[in-house]
Structure 1
Amino acid sequence: MSTQAKILPIKRSSDLPHDASPVVGLADHYPPGFSDPFHAHERCQLALTLSGIITVTTGSASYILPPNRAIWIPGGTHHQVTTRAAVQFRTLYVDNTLNKWLDRCHVFETTPLVRALIDEVLQFRFPYPPQGREVRLTSLLLDELDRMPSVGLQISMPSDRRLVRVCRALLLNPTDGRDLDHWALEAGMGRRTFTRLFREQTGMGLASWRQQARMIEAIALLEQGHSVTTAAYDVGYDSPSAFSAAFHRIFGMSPSAYCRGSIKI
């Protein structure tokens, strides 16, 4: 039997054999409220969300993945995946020798061409030959990924477990406005120690980190179709105008402009 005739049914990442082709893929979905514990894949992972929003958390950052955005996760990177609503997505597993981004996770925009190439990989018969159409298409896909603009849909996470506890609480409830003294006490630290360590490990103070967390949450709400006004109040702002001003400072555009651009992608 020729290798072209062999079909490798990949329904979960655990079905991926060690002798598979350099790039393989699967289509999948997550139900509402899904949570996949921290894990790592031997290969690099490219995940593209088609509907719904995925949150990916690593040891150093938390990323959100709205529709038509993708995330690159280097092989061996421990990460956790969670959802709120149902999610449809595509995942490719890429041999580590093809990794152009070393050990860096990042979220980026995708074009119709990139999405079409990802879908084409899902139609491959595996294993495919070392020369041929499949190799040319996967090479084109990886070249196109290198051209996709990164988007600031992530927030740094500290490594200290006490600070991680604080950050996760704020990610779960970004409207929580309790002050620095409260969170220092929650972490079991003095105010000065908390402030110093938080800045060392996240690159910003608690107030700036919380504002960024609110913006990430706001983007998730906007992507789900919530109005700017609803998103503003739901992430803890006193008025839509204050929210819009903060959004513009961080992302360089108004929430309305972001929504219009998101629809066009």
Structure 2
Amino acid sequence: MPTPQRSIDHRDYQRVPRVVTALARDEEHGVTAKPHSHERAQLLYATQGLMRVKTDFGMWILPPRRALWIPSGVVHHWTSISKVTMRTIYVEAAAAKAFGDSCRVIEVSPLLRELIVALLEEPIEYPLPGRGEHLAMLILSELAAAATVPIAIPWPRDRRLVAVCEAIMADPGSPRNIEQWADDVGASARTLIRLFPKETGLHYRQWVQQVHLAEAFGRLAQGDSVGEIAAALGYASPSAFSAMFRRILGKTPQHYLTEWRQPLTQRPA
């Protein structure tokens, strides 16, 4: 666990003269952070619990073993969907350039997780040279090798499309089609079909599938079965849902269930 001297205020980590800094904070269910940005890039990560993160450009659901890379200056806010043990890192701007200038979800390997937890045992301004510096360099190495998970919910700006997207997010398993959504917002189905790729970069069905994937990850992390998730999202069968999941992610839901049930460590997180 972090020492009592560690701050839980993200602002205290932005100008520490170290390439990588690590923050630990625990949040109760339903906590929402106000929109904010950081001078440093951030790997927003929780070892336990679920988080929903939103920017002007997209939304993400983060279960354990998934983290969101957020470049410096990107305004974002998050909500804890359950109790959360946040174990996040901040990366100095020059070093962060190697990891891209857009938000993306990455897989957190067991090694990366352990490195982050280990860095939290060091002082915020860890000695140079020393153990903290070695951990920081290994964290950067693991970040460079981390796989990107193609899950993102691009967010539109058109008020009609925003209304439709908010309704779908509120009820991901809704059987309503785009013609019915169009009636609700006073637009034609053709207009919405045109707006989806223009505003989000995805066609309507692709966008809905991203919502389904995000919802599925959250439900898998909470222990729901594939059958329960398929039914909740309106799929005709678990196999139909699994086929969509595998087509987009290259792995089955069962693969992730097995992965998440494997204990990472006995060490406190």
Which bin holds the TM-score, normalised by the shorter protein? 0.7 to 0.9
TM-score normalized by the length of structure 2: 0.86
| Counterparts of 1:19 and 1:110, CA distance in 2 | 24
Is the 2:14–2:40 Cα contact (8 Å) retained in structure 1?
no
| Counterparts of 2:185 and 2:76, CA distance in 1 | 23
1:198-256 CA-partner distances (Å, limit 9, x unpaired): 12222332223213311221221111111111111112223323222322322233322
Q: From the superposition, tell whether residues 195 and 113 of structure 1 become closer, same or farther in structure 2 (CA, over 3 Å).
A: same
1:42-121 matches, within 5 Å, as 42-99=39-96, 100-121=98-119
Q: From the superposition, tell whether residues 65 and 261 of structure 1 become closer, same or farther in structure 2 (CA, over 3 Å).
A: same
Letter paired with 1:249? R
Q: CA RMSD in A?
A: 2.3
Counterpart in the other structure of 1:262: 260
| Counterparts of 1:246 and 1:127, CA distance in 2 | 46
Letter paired with 1:145? L
Secondary structure of the structure 1 residue equivalent to 2:149: coil
| Counterparts of 2:37 and 2:185, CA distance in 1 | 28
| Counterparts of 1:52 and 1:253, CA distance in 2 | 22
Q: From the superposition, tell whether residues 98 and 186 of structure 1 become closer, same or farther in structure 2 (CA, over 3 Å).
A: farther
Secondary structure of the structure 2 residue equivalent to 1:10: coil
| Counterparts of 2:14 and 2:65, CA distance in 1 | 28
Counterpart in the other structure of 1:222: 220
Is the 1:33–1:85 Cα contact (8 Å) retained in structure 2?
yes
Tell which deviates more after alignment, 180-189 or 116-125. 180-189
Tell me the CA shift for residue 176 of structure 1. 1.7
Is the 1:10–1:25 Cα contact (8 Å) retained in structure 2?
no
| Counterparts of 2:47 and 2:16, CA distance in 1 | 29
* 1:176 maps onto 2:174 in alignment: yes
TM-score normalized by the length of structure 1: 0.87
Tell me the CA shift for residue 147 of structure 1. 0.3
Unaligned runs of 5+ in 1: 1-6
Tell me the CA shift for residue 131 of structure 1. 4.1
Counterpart in the other structure of 1:39: 36
Q: From the superposition, tell whether residues 28 and 227 of structure 1 become closer, same or farther in structure 2 (CA, over 3 Å).
A: same
Is the 1:74–1:103 Cα contact (8 Å) retained in structure 2?
yes
| Counterparts of 2:161 and 2:220, CA distance in 1 | 28
Secondary structure of the structure 2 residue equivalent to 1:39: coil
Tell which deviates more after alignment, 240-249 or 14-23. 14-23
Is the 1:59–1:78 Cα contact (8 Å) retained in structure 2?
yes
Unaligned runs of 5+ in 2: 265-269
Tell me the CA shift for residue 20 of structure 1. 4.6
Is the 2:37–2:73 Cα contact (8 Å) retained in structure 1?
yes
Q: 2:123 aligns with which of 125, 128, 132?
A: 125
Aligned length: 259
1:129-163 CA-partner distances (Å, limit 9, x unpaired): 55444333212210111001111232222233432
